[in-house]
Homo-oligomer: A and B are copies of this chain.
Amino acid sequence: MSKIKAAGNGTKKDAIVTNAAKLFRTKGYRASSMRELADKTGVEAPSLYNHIGSKAELLQAICLKVGERFTLHLNEVIAAEKTATEKLKELMLFHITMMTNFFDEVYVANHEWKHLEEQHLSHFLKQRRDYEAKMLQLVEEGIEKKEFKNIHPQVAVLTILAALRGLEFWQQHKKDIPAAVLETNMVNHLLNGLIL
């Protein structure tokens, strides 16, 4: 039996990437050593290189996967025949789902993308800008159709995205606040506000 256990339908490389995501999240990319990653994987450091190309490649894989998933979902939502409010709500719920199912990966993509090498860095940033731009269009559409208030659409997008990114901070309180309660309340807060 090999020492690295590939989970489910994934390869051994996938298993290493998963371990890397967890390690990078807790320690940060630069503070994570390949020796420690190897240790968590149950193997000596050089053995990792039978399955992966480099440390940088691990970060790329994580950031790319997260970026693709979000982009794919956004395009699906936009293409659907729904009101802007419904679309926005779906986006928010998807962020919450992603954060619960792929916490380490999403966290790393949000925090460690700085350390991507050039080609992947600019790809990642462009993807993020596009995501933001499409969300901006959505909010503008909602304002035009009188679904939303006549507020500054860029600030609204910024506020919503920031609040959603802050979900990472919620993982600690997960025991206190179940996902369903969080979903209902955060979506409601961002859509309807705090004041009575």
| A39-92 contacts to B (CB < 8 Å) | 85, 88
A151 x B194 contact (CB < 8 A): yes
CB contact between A151 and one of B28, B114, B147, B188 (< 8 Å): that residue: B188
Tell me what chain A mostly uses at the interface: helix, strand, loop, or mixed.
Answer: helix
Evaluate whether A158 and B181 lie within 8 angstroms (CB atoms) in the complex, with A85-B195, A147-B196, A149-B194 already known: no
A3 interface hit (Cβ, 8 Å): no
If A111-B111, A193-B190, A195-B147 touch, whether A177 touches B161 (CB-CB below 8 Å) is no
Contact B193 A114 (CB under 8 A): no
What distance in Å separates the Cβ of A148 from its nearest Cβ neighbour in chain B?
Answer: 5
A94 within 8 A of B: no
Chain B residues with Cβ below 8 Å from A118 are none
